[in-house]
Amino acid sequence: MDLLTLHHLTKTFGGLTAVKDVSFTVEKGAVVGLIGPNGAGKTTVFNLITGQYPFDQGEITFADVRLNGLRTHRIITLGIARTFQNIRLFQKLTALENVLAGRHYRMQSGILSAMLGLPAQRREEQEAMERALEELAFVGLDQQALTMARNLAYGDQRRLEIARALATEPRLLILDEPAGGMNEQETGALIGLIGRIQQRGVTILLIEHDMRLVMRACEKLIVLEYGGKIAEGPPDQVRRDPKVIEAYLGAEDEP
């Protein structure tokens, strides 16, 4: 069963076509990789899915809901969460506070309930705290819950961003270069974390240039070049495609 479908998606910036007639599906429960060299349009595709850019043509559906024209907040509440290529944490807040910020998207109490300290609001705050601590433990950061985000090691900041995304209870988790800047040991731990997230029933769509991670973690790869799709299939099949070898795997990675 397909959870996410992109149908003939096109996005232009001025006279530049960043995404050109791209179609693909992401099956529920799968880990799918979107790969390609610098300028291929990968992050633009992510920004279109999450509502950060409007698209010019095509359609995106998620769990049979059309995302066309929906704002980012609404897309998050539907069950899509993401991380970013450049880490976007609240650096002056603790790890726990960062995850609580993600949990905010699932809280129902309004301003009046908060001002009056109603029982339902207090219960919701307690549940949010418990869930945030669970997510920190899940990514291995429970001992750093009260550490300021800016004081965490780089790899830990990457994992904190994943914990914050998981706190929104996503059905689809979008990871933009999650292994960027990680050493080999950290990347190995990340592969294990991706597997555990998948075991929770969360579907994953990721951009990554570490081909060891891509080949080990992904069940399907979609390959872009100059904004268009040139290949799609299982990793072993894609890695043997002459066009992919020439255009991607043999190309220099994006910074």
User: Domain residues of the chain, as ranges?
Assistant: 1-79+170-255, 89-163
Residue 38's pLDDT is what? 84
43 falls in which pLDDT band (50, 70, 90)?
Answer: very high
In 54-137, the DSSP E strands lie at 57-62, 65-66, 80-82
Residue 248's pLDDT is what? 57
The answer to which of 28-37, 77-86, 119-128, 215-224 has the lowest mean pLDDT is: 119-128
Give the mean model confidence (pLDDT) for residues 196-218.
Answer: 95
Percentage of residues of the chain with pLDDT beyond 70: 90
Give the mean model confidence (pLDDT) for residues 84-88.
Answer: 90
Residue 60 has pLDDT above 80, yes or no: yes
Q: Which tens digit of pLDDT belongs to each residue from 139-160?
A: 999 999 999 999 999 999 999 9
Give the mean model confidence (pLDDT) for residues 177-194.
Answer: 92
CATH of domain 1-79+170-255: 3.40.50.300
Residue 119 has pLDDT above 70, yes or no: no
Neighbours of 231 (CB within 10 A): 20
Residue 211's pLDDT is what? 87
81 falls in which pLDDT band (50, 70, 90)?
Answer: very high
Residue 135 has pLDDT above 60, yes or no: yes
More confident residue, 141 or 128: 141
246 falls in which pLDDT band (50, 70, 90)?
Answer: confident
Question: Integer distance in angstroms from the first to the last C-alpha of the chain?
Answer: 35
* Structure tokens given for 231: 């290949």
104 falls in which pLDDT band (50, 70, 90)?
Answer: confident
Q: Which tens digit of pLDDT belongs to each residue from 225-244?
A: 999 999 999 999 998 898 88
* Structure tokens given for 248: 């991607």
33 neighbors 217 (Cβ within 8 angstroms): yes
251 falls in which pLDDT band (50, 70, 90)?
Answer: very low
The answer to which of 23-37, 114-128, 149-163, 171-185 has the lowest mean pLDDT is: 114-128
Average pLDDT value for the chain: 90
Give the whole-angstrom CA distance, residue 203 versus residue 192.
15
158-36-196-240 Cα dihedral, nearest 10 degrees: -150
